Chains A and B, each alone.
Chain A
Amino acid sequence: MTKKESPGTCHETHDEADRGGCEIARRGFLDQLKCAVAGLAVTAAAYVLPLEGQTALGTEAASIPAIPGYDWSKHRWAYGVDATKCIGCLRCVKACKTENNVALDAHHFRTWVERYVYLDGHEKPLIDSQADPVNIAAAGTEEDYRFANRYNNDDVYKAFFVPKLCNHCTHPACVQVCPTGATFKTMDGVVLIDHNYCIGCQYCVQACPYGARFFDHVRRVTNKCTWCYHRITKGLMPACVEVCPVEARIFGDLDDKESKISQFIKNNRVQVLKPETGNGPNVFYIGLDSEVV
């Protein structure tokens, strides 16, 4: 993997982050003893914090993030996947990596596509994704993605593709476990990661039941799908939706009853992945199958 010039998802220099970051760095190398001593008092302080947060929110109730021409209180984003339409071309995977500066390899994906193939006479499907070594070999490089023609079509009883991405859950387990508040859910329903604040502990990677998060080895923080927050706040579609040639991916605003996603959810019996986790996913699927994980 090559070092990228700029991490891209976050601007690296912001006054607050800078000040905090430098000071933290200086203190980070103090010995453990001081750290420990400081801890006791801060323990007490920890209980005061939520109150402070509320106070801040209370006094500036009208304030919204400074995004030009965008009010996050007026949107409620959601995502739909029509698995029956997906042709497994993987242009979404490629586009996502390009749009978001993600390493072009087989181990870091904000979105990916799975293929389920039931061969004749088999109860369990064979599953692969574009990251499978056979498929990487077919692409000839880890920088492009394609599904290898690896099954004899005459033996295939049933087969389909399932695109996957971060579910931007209503009760995200990843946000729950984040020790610092580097990952959070925005008011418009997107789970984001503050790359300038993340310490890189990867607890959230463990907590996500969907495998949607990964450790970004270039930036040394956790990374994942943001539904292209920089695009949707400008009125654009996420990159994966933008390039999907068959409308297998649908994105939109639930607050707009005429939006594609509202219509998609209204007109179909939609499902979510792993509902038993209680995370409340916000990526709605049609055309899933019992063996889809």
Chain B
Amino acid sequence: MPKHISRLIMLLVILGVVAYAAKQYFTVNSFYEFGHYRGNSVADMASNKPKFKGSASCKDCHKDVYKQWSEGIHYNPAAGKVVKCEVCHGPGGDRGTKGMFDHVSTGPDHPQNMKMIVPTDTVKLCVVCHEQIAGRPAQQKQIVIADHAGTQQCTVCHNPHSPLTINEAKPTPPIGNVTAGKADVDAAGCAACHGPTGISDGLPGPNLAGQNQPYIMAAFRAYKSGARSNDFMKDIVANVKDSDITDISAYFATQSCKSAHNGDADAEAAGQKLALASKCATCHGTNGISRQPVWPNLAGQSKDYLVSALQAYKNGGRKNGFMTKITKDLSDADFANLGAYFSNAKCQRDGAE
């Protein structure tokens, strides 16, 4: 065999040996240990820290909320429906070295420090599960947002940890200067329609005496911004300074209310029945005393005003998605009955007298 051929063969053999040796040397240690892969990678992957820790990890610190949740509709294991803490609040963490939080909200592992979703926009959050959309099974509770509450935050009415519980807030003492408010009321000429103490008593305006201060303020601002339109009110509020709104509302809120006693017992009974059926009570309370200060009390309100307000909601003169939906299917007779019921209802809070 010529020399060049034997050398070529030798060269190829050397290359082969070198390549084989290289393969043996460079193959990572645990490869082939369990199969055709790097055996150590299994334990590597298993060693990662979980981020979602389960509701139990929230329990120790957030006892109250945990209790509300575990007693509410969002915890219903029997029906297979459990909305765990981390569904809305994001994962409990993953960077912790101790497994649980070091401190309430300063620990490295706490959701707050992971820039978790602290759900501020509950309209965006809750509709993730509860908006009525194609594909969602019928057994899931669903709402058409526009009809349900518009842009109002869900948490205004619902306790998010137990959504069937409707929030109830006791009225807080009025803020602002009642005396100054009285002067402002006189100056602005409110008495012309609402009466000097906020009892309109036949005058065109609604009763304001004893009304919730936050609601009066919200209404005032709505007139100012044009969100609520009324030719009389527009001119009047234009002359009132923003700073006076608190005082004026404090004045009316502290006045004694007065229920009507025009005694149409049948209408009242029909109105009461309707009030419960139409879910007025959900927000305005079973007796017309609202469950939240931002909603108006209806008890003791003038009948005419109640009827005209309900009509306005129905025909679009006043805009509130929720009220529109509720009034949609009610007749003028219903309005009259509701007006009769609420105007005659006892307007003082229990224990106030």
Contact = CB atoms under 8 A, between A and B. Distances in A.
A contacting B, Cβ–Cβ less than 8 Å: yes
Given A95-B86, A98-B91, A14 B22 contact: no
Given A98-B91, A239-B52, A52 B42 contact: no
B133 A149 contact: yes
Given A14-B44, A37-B19, A181-B36, A88 B136 contact: yes
B86 A90 contact: no
A234 B26 contact: no
Contacts of A49: 32
B20 A246 contact: no
A156 interface: yes
A193 to B, nearest CB: 9
Interface string A54-68: 001100100101110
Interface string B132-164: 111111001000000000000000000000000
Given A20-B27, A242-B52, A160 B137 contact: yes
A1 interface: no
B50 A56 contact: no
Contacts of A182: 37
A115 B26 contact: no
B20 A57 contact: no
B10 interface: no
Nearest to B139: A85
Interface of B: 12, 15-20, 22-23, 25-52, 54, 74, 80-84, 86-87, 90-91, 127-129, 131-137, 140
Interface stretch (A102-110, A164-172, A184-192, A208-216): A184-192
Nearest to A226: B45
B52 A147 contact: no
Interface of A: 8-11, 14-17, 19-20, 23-24, 27, 37-42, 44-45, 49, 52-53, 56-57, 60, 63, 65-67, 70, 72, 84-91, 95, 98-99, 115-117, 146-151, 153, 156, 159-161, 181-187, 192, 194, 196-197, 226, 228-231, 233-234, 236, 239, 242-243, 245-247
A8 B49 CA distance: 9
Contacts of B40: 14, 16-17, 65-66
A156 B68 CA distance: 37
A39 B42 contact: no
Given A10-B41, A17-B28, A20-B28, A42 B86 contact: no
A149 B128 CA distance: 11
B54 A236 contact: yes
A226 B37 CA distance: 16
Contacts of A11: 44, 47-48
A187 B34 contact: yes
B208 to A, nearest CB: 40
Ordered nearest first, which 10 A-B pairs have the shortest CB separation? Answer: A41-B16, A230-B48, A41-B19, A53-B32, A184-B37, A38-B19, A194-B41, A20-B28, A65-B42, A247-B80
Contacts of A231: 50, 52
B144 to A, nearest CB: 9
Identify the interface centre among A67, A90, A236, A243: most chain B CB within 10 Å of its CB: A243
A23 B48 contact: no
A134 to B, nearest CB: 12
Q: Which of B32, B39, B40, B41 has the largest number of chain A CB atoms within 10 A? A: B41
A91 B20 CA distance: 51
Given A41-B16, A197-B41, A236 B135 contact: no
Contact of A234 (B28, B42, B45, B50): B50
B45 to A, nearest CB: 5
A56 B80 CA distance: 47
A44 B137 contact: no
A184 B18 CA distance: 29
Contacts of B82: 245, 247
Given A40-B12, A84-B137, A98 B51 contact: yes
Contacts of A15: 29
Given A239-B52, A242-B86, A245-B87, A88 B135 contact: yes
B129 A63 contact: no
A233 B135 contact: no
Given A40-B12, A67-B43, A85 B80 contact: yes
B94 to A, nearest CB: 8
B16 A44 contact: yes
Nearest to B80: A247
B44 A10 contact: yes
B134 A246 contact: no
Contacts of B18: 38, 41
Given A41-B20, A239-B51, A16 B134 contact: no
11 contacts: A8-B48, A27-B26, A37-B19, A39-B19, A40-B12, A41-B17, A65-B34, A67-B46, A87-B137, A185-B35, A245-B82
B136 A17 contact: no
Nearest to B16: A41
A257 B86 CA distance: 29
A91 B128 contact: yes
Contact of A9 (B38, B48, B134): B48
Nearest to B116: A98
Contact of A57 (B33, B50, B74): B33
Contacts of A159: 134-136
A160 B136 CA distance: 6
A236 B94 CA distance: 14
Given A181-B31, A246-B140, A236 B19 contact: no
Contact of A56 (B32, B45, B54): B32
B71 to A, nearest CB: 17
Contact of B45 (A9, A89, A246, A247): A9
Given A72-B42, A146-B127, A243-B87, 14 more contacts: A20-B28, A40-B12, A41-B17, A52-B32, A56-B32, A57-B32, A57-B34, A87-B129, A88-B136, A99-B91, A186-B34, A194-B41, A245-B74, A246-B81
